[in-house]
Amino acid sequence: MQKVLDIFKKISKIPRCSYNALAIKNFLVNYAKEKNLKVQSDKFDNILISKSNPKVCLQAHYDMVCIGDYKNLKVIEKKGFLMAKNSSLGADNGIAIAMMLALIDSYNIELLFTSDEEVGLIGAMNLELKIKSKNIINLDSEDDRDVTLGCAGGFDISGKFKIKEAKLKEENIYKITSQNFEGGHSGIDINSGIKNAIKELAYNLSKNSDVKLISINGGEKINSIAKNIEVILATNNKINIDKKYFKVQKINNIDKKYVTYIKNSKKLIHLLNAMPSSILSFDRDFSVPSNSINLSLITQKNKFIKIELMGRANSNEELDINISQIKSLLKVNCKNIKISNIYPAWKPIKSKLAKKVKNIFNKHLKIGEFKVIHAGLEGGILQDKFKDSSIISIGPNIYQPHSIYERVEIKSIDRIYQVLKIILKDI
């Protein structure tokens, strides 16, 4: 167990943000070479490390969502958890990497590390490597009670709202910034009541009769619930806003003759309020959201405001409906509608592997339930690529991933690590 923690702390010092993870790729390749293990990679930077004749493939992604002061990431142990100061931790999926590297010393297994999972499961979607094992265990789940059999598919969608400009007159100018928002994972946490900073600001602005937006930018990542937003606006009226969540600062010493504002501000505010950012339907069989949308990012550049959303659904049929509905909403006021990073839902199958692992959980941990999660896992893609393989997902307790509050329970890491050793002995 200490070996797992030591490896995790070591890789936490290596940059591995999505789209910028070459350093961790090189680390994994060199790690395998130093131990005389077979290692392969493909043009999408996926890595396969193997030993002898493996019966099990352990799989994880090696990129992370970088939020906050991640360039100075330091792992902290506090009250039974690992966390980072003012930064996402990268336990998603770094703890899995650490367990995998620790286990290959003692077991004949293969390790599949995929790239850029957090930005659309890109590595898995374009995987060119062939595994030998017929049993695949993904280690990207975040609740140690669950044997995950399925997950949501997802897509990104964006549109550009064209700005109509006008010269500002003598209004007062203010900067409004968000505060006290938590942020979080737009799938796992969509049912947790976490407020979205973009949606909350749009609602607050709609309570004001005469505001002229000058600039607006908000959100962090396409798959995160927005924590930050900043708006500069003009008005001569008193600003009616929730001061728990927003700070108002008057801006002086600006020559208003050179300031333009967004003439169609009301239309933009109305559009942001109309955009769904919540659960759309619920799966009672697995007690999990089955369909959702998150309003992720709003970015102003030149004469356009780009609005980006991420949709998830636990079936491909719902996914198609979701795409169609959001596309229709955006088309009313936006141009250049783009849909990208579509990946399929993972349909749950109670395979022999799934039943065996659940029995091991029940026997050794006294817990273990079949689960479907409302988040993107690579299981569905891998199932499509390796149709004869059985796939499940397990993992330790990780809370509030994709945020500066991300933390992983140390005892839970040990529970999953010990269970993995039993699984690898029994299969």
CATH number of the domain enclosing 106: 3.40.630.10
Domains in the chain: how many in total? Answer: 2
For 352-408, what is each residue's pLDDT tens digit?
A: 999 999 999 999 989 889 999 998 899 989 998 999 999 999 999 999 888 899 999
Where does the pLDDT of residue 279 fall: very low under 50, low under 70, confident under 90, or very high at 90 and above?
Answer: very high
258 pLDDT higher than 80: no
Report the C-alpha gap between 367 and 116 in whole angstroms.
32
* Whether 339 and 369 share a structural domain: no
* Whether 276 and 382 share a structural domain: no
Model pLDDT, residue 287: 87
Boundary residue ending a domain (309, 343, 377): 343
Question: What's the whole-number mean pLDDT along residues 27-50?
Answer: 97
Are the C-beta atoms of residues 56 and 427 closer than 8 Å to each other?
yes
Model pLDDT, residue 426: 87
Model pLDDT, residue 54: 94
Buried b (16+ CB within 10 A) or exposed e, 248-264: eeeeeeeeeeebebbeb
Boundary residue ending a domain (288, 311, 343): 343
* Whether 321 and 240 share a structural domain: yes
For residue 6, the enclosing domain spans 2-152+345-426
Model pLDDT, residue 52: 87
* Whether 114 and 176 share a structural domain: no
Query: In this structure, what are the phi and psi dihedrals at residue 122, rounded to the nearest 5 degrees?
Result: -65, -45
42 pLDDT higher than 80: yes
Beta strands in 168-266, from DSSP E residues, in sequence order? 172-178, 184-185, 212-218, 224-225, 229-235, 246-251, 260-262
Are the C-beta atoms of residues 235 and 223 closer than 8 Å to each other?
no
The mean pLDDT of the chain is: 94
In this prediction the pTM is 0.80
Q: Which of 208, 182, 210 is nearest to 194 (CA)?
A: 182
* Whether 306 and 399 share a structural domain: no
